[in-house]
Structure 1
Amino acid sequence: MLNRQQAPDFKQVSTINFIQPEKKALANGVPVFTIFSGEQDLVRIEFIFDNVNWKVEKPLQAIAVNTLINNGTTRLTAKEIAEQIDFYGAFFQTEYTQDQSTVTLYTLNKHLQSVLPIVKDVLSDSQFPQHELDIYIQNQKQKLQVNLKKNDILSRKEFAHALFGDTAYGVDIQAKHYDELKREDLIGYFKAAYTPNNCTIIVSGKFDETGFELLNQNFGQHWEKSNAIKNVFNFSATGKQVIYKEKPEAIQSAIRIGQLAINRKHEDFPGLQILNTILGGYFGSRLMTNIREDKGYTYGIGSGISSLQQAGYLFISTEVGADVCAAALTEIYKEIATLKTTPVGEEELNLVRNYMLGSMLGSLENVFSHADKFKNIYFAGLDYSYYAKYIEKVKSITAEELLALANKYLTTDSFTEVVIGKK
């Protein structure tokens, strides 16, 4: 009989297999990476463009262009684009990050011939009609006005600006920046950034040679190149910063603490990810156990490490009752100090190992997930040996290594501490 009072034994994940892409190029040199899975008649095509020509006085150009890119061409209105894409059961979306802007098409394989010309029209001839820009400006200013009343969003803005200053990673967006958006600037940025020499295409799903030929017919020619300059930033540690914005009426205070750190390119990054998981990277973490489960100061608290192309940073974030903000800060620093002085126990370390390997395996649920894993390493200039080293590090890291990493990277005397509310 199965004893349901006894937990099953841990079984560590032994191997994780990745679907690696096939690389080709269009006639005009645009690299195309294809991750094939023929189980479903569905394909995702991502057109990824580096953000370029950063100007601090025009910080919204890249995000506005990415958001409005499908709002009208010489041939099609925004409504017509949406209706034609919808007619074929396809889905068209855009995404902006600090490093790149992406235009993504989801479609059935059999409709590629019909929907690719629409996407080509968007990527080569977007016009950014003034009335669409006016609506965007109005909506975004209203959204900003609402967000500036939210302590957690304010803490994110203050934290990013303290670490990264007036760059694409940290610029403090204000209402005036939306008022200063001009249609001619958007057209200029579009022509500079959305070009074949600034594009990488990643295709995942059921995509065969016929699909590639259709892609090449549409995007391998008659697509104007440019001489845009990819964004380049340099960051250095600023030392201890304490930013406190009091809101006397606040019921909760938003806390965000952290500092510049390494990114995925650094050999210590996998080890630091393990350390972060122990500190605040999963539900059973030390911060959650102490500050949520034991003290009851918050509904949730977590820590993370973000890897950007030109920087990395670690952070701890939470919202706590305004009356316990000071106590929560004390407990956060206490948990960091413990990681720097006391080795992690073997039982806890094994739990984290199994959690991280299980999460990695679970994240590879479909072909799109495999494509996302490829993007993580490709745009960091890495190859699949990164994941092999990551998995090996999770399996083999020792308490002594974690202690050394904690003392090397959790340098609280140079943390930036942001509190919005009361403390």
Structure 2
Amino acid sequence: MINRKLAPESRAIENIKLIHPEHTKLGNGCNLFCFNSGDQELVRIEWIFGNLTFDPAKPLLNMAVNTMLSDGTTSLSASEIADKIDFYGAFLQVDYGYENSQVTLYTLNKHLHNTLPVIADILNNSIFPQKELETFKRNQQQKLQVSVQKNDILARRAFNRAVYGATIFGYAAEMADYQTLHRDDMLAHYKQMYQPANCTIIISGKIEPQTLSLITDTFGDRWANTSAQATTGQTAFKPAPELFYFTERPDALQSAIRIGMPTINRKHEDFQSLQVLNTVLGGYFGSRLMANIREDKGYTYGIGSGLASFKQGGAFFLATEVGADVCKAAVGEIEKEINLLKTELVPEDELSLVRNYMLGSTLGSLENIFSHTDKFKTIHFAGLDYDYYDRYTDTVKNITSEKLIKLANTYFNFDQFYKVIVGKY
């Protein structure tokens, strides 16, 4: 019998073991990574493509083309594609990101020979029907009309423009931009971007020999590159000279606050240490910002900070919504917490709690083979190796308060932060 009067024994996390993939490069230039694990007859297959270089004259192409991939091919309509996937209990989704876009298929192994041809058709024969395009533009414009009524959305858009400038990272769609979407441009963009030389396929799950054979046969020699080479890679950040942005909304009950600045990315030697500092400040529910702004002052339901990492650089950001009447006071408390990190050592008990939280969260996130795959994608597309996670564990376990105060003085200058407020101030 378990004696429930005794707390379970706790142990320090020594290391975190990750599953490594097998790598093959197909003859057409496509990179294939396999994570073979699990007992269920299920696989997840991801086709990941580098976005074409952002064109300010046609800013929506990367997003629109990826979103509409499954809206019709030369042989199948959007509803027929959906019916075929649903019939076999599979799941298909498309995802757009700043640097990469992807198509993901979850399917049982026994149905792969029926579902895989649908993906091949999408990646080779999408046609972006004019009727579907008009519906897409109308729906997106309606969503935009709704979203720009929200203070937090306006604050995020303004913050990204200020920090990242006229790049894909700082771009925010306007109503008129949807009129720049034309089917001919989308077809040309599609043919250049969605080809094997610009694709990484990642398979995870129970990968049987016949499964791998079917995938390599379908997306190997039978999938040919076009004559137009994909021009990928995004331009560097172009931060604005102005640091403060205030949009007044007289009827606002809450004000949205977004504060931060461009900073280092995942490749920098200080990045993992900065993650620890960020966690102390606002990276988890027990952070200083939550304790002060939410628990003590009652200004907000939630506040948090984070680090964004891209190939071109990184950014530190802090976001919250507070009562409109306490907006200025909230900003003052945020500045106070940041300055405390620069002048006072983090107590050892607080740092120990953060260490346990960060290592425990990382370990807890590895619940299945798909989680291991996601960890791989983080480092692979950043140009890093698995020793990144070894260094991460070592950094979190051994970082000192002295190191944190030095980092705070190096990277946190509140006077040089971009500050965006929407509502009342």
For 2:247, give the aligned amino acid.
K
Name which of 363, 366, 370 aligns with 1:364.
366
Distance in 2, Cα, partners of 1:2 & 1:222: 61
**Does 1:42 pair with 2:42?**
yes
Following superposition, the deviation at residue 7 of structure 1 comes to 6.8
Give identity over the alignment, percent.
53
The offset of 1:223, in angstroms, is 2.5
Deviation at 1:108, TM superposition (A): 0.4
Give the total of aligned pairs: 422
Partner of 2:204: 204
List aligned pairs for 1:316-335, cutoff 5 A.
Answer: 316-335=318-337
Residue 52 of structure 1 contacts residue 193 of structure 1 at CA under 8 Å; is this kept in 2?
yes
Find the partner of 2:379 among 377, 380, 383. Answer: 377
Q: Secondary structure at the match of 1:33?
A: strand
What secondary structure sits across from 1:48 in the alignment? strand
Contact 1:247 1:420 in 2 (8 A): yes
* Structure 1 position 413, deviation (Å): 1.9
**5+ residue gaps, structure 2:** none
C-alpha distance in structure 2 between counterparts of 1:233 and 1:53, whole Å = 8
| CA distance in 2: counterparts of 1:67 and 1:325, whole angstroms | 37
Q: Name the structure 1 match of 2:311.
A: 309
Aligned counterparts, 1:18-417, within 5 A? 18-220=18-220, 221-225=222-226, 226-235=228-237, 238=240, 241-417=243-419
How far apart are 1:215 and its partner, in Å?
Answer: 1.0
Give the TM-score, by structure 1 length: 0.97
Name the CA shift for 1:333/1:2 in 2 (closer, same or farther; >3 Å).
Answer: farther
Q: 1:3 & 1:335 partners in 2: Cα distance?
A: 40
Distance (whole Å) between structure 2 residues aligned to residue 272 and residue 413 of structure 1: 19
Q: What letter matches 1:110 in structure 2?
A: K
- Measured in 1, the distance between the counterparts of 2:54 and 2:286 equals 41
- Over the aligned positions, Cα root-mean-square deviation in angstroms equals 1.5
- Which region of structure 1 is more displaced relative to structure 2, 213-222 or 336-345? 213-222
- Give ranges in structure 1 of 5+ residues lacking alignment: none
User: How big is each residue's C-alpha offset from its partner over 1:29-69, in whole Å with a ceiling of 9 and x where there is no partner?
Assistant: 21100011131111000000000132101110010011100
Q: Does 1:419 align with 2:416?
A: no
- Structure 2 letter corresponding to 1:146: V
Distance 2:167 2:365 in 1: 32
User: How far, CA to CA, are the matches of 1:251 and 1:37 in structure 2?
Assistant: 51
Give the TM-score normalised by structure 2. 0.97
Displacement, 1:239? Answer: 5.5
SS in 1 for 2:16: coil
Contact 1:22 1:33 (8 Å CA) reproduced: yes
CA distance in 2, matches of 1:312, 1:164: 10
* Alpha-carbon separation, structure 2, partners of 1:259 and 1:382: 24
Given that 1:167 and 1:233 are in contact with CA atoms closer than 8 Å, whether structure 2 keeps it comes out as: yes
Partner Cα distance (1:236, 1:12) in 2: 43
Q: Secondary structure at the match of 1:383?
A: coil
Deviation of the 1:25 alpha carbon: 2.3
Tell me the SS of whatever aligns to 1:270: helix
Q: Is the 8 A contact 1:204 1:367 kept in 2?
A: yes
Distance 1:247 1:237 in 2: 25
Q: Structure 1's 244 and 183: CA in aligned 2 closer, same or farther, altered over 3 A?
A: same
The alignment partner of 1:55 has SS state of coil
Mapped contact 1:240–1:413 kept (Cα < 8 A):
no
Counterpart Cα distance in 2 of 1:138 and 1:236:
31
Amino acid corresponding to residue 207 of structure 1 in structure 2: I
On the 8 A contact 1:27/1:216 being kept in 2, the answer is no
CA distance in 2, matches of 1:399, 1:3: 36
Per-residue deviation at 1:218?
1.1
> Which stretch shows the higher mean deviation, 277-286 or 235-244?
235-244
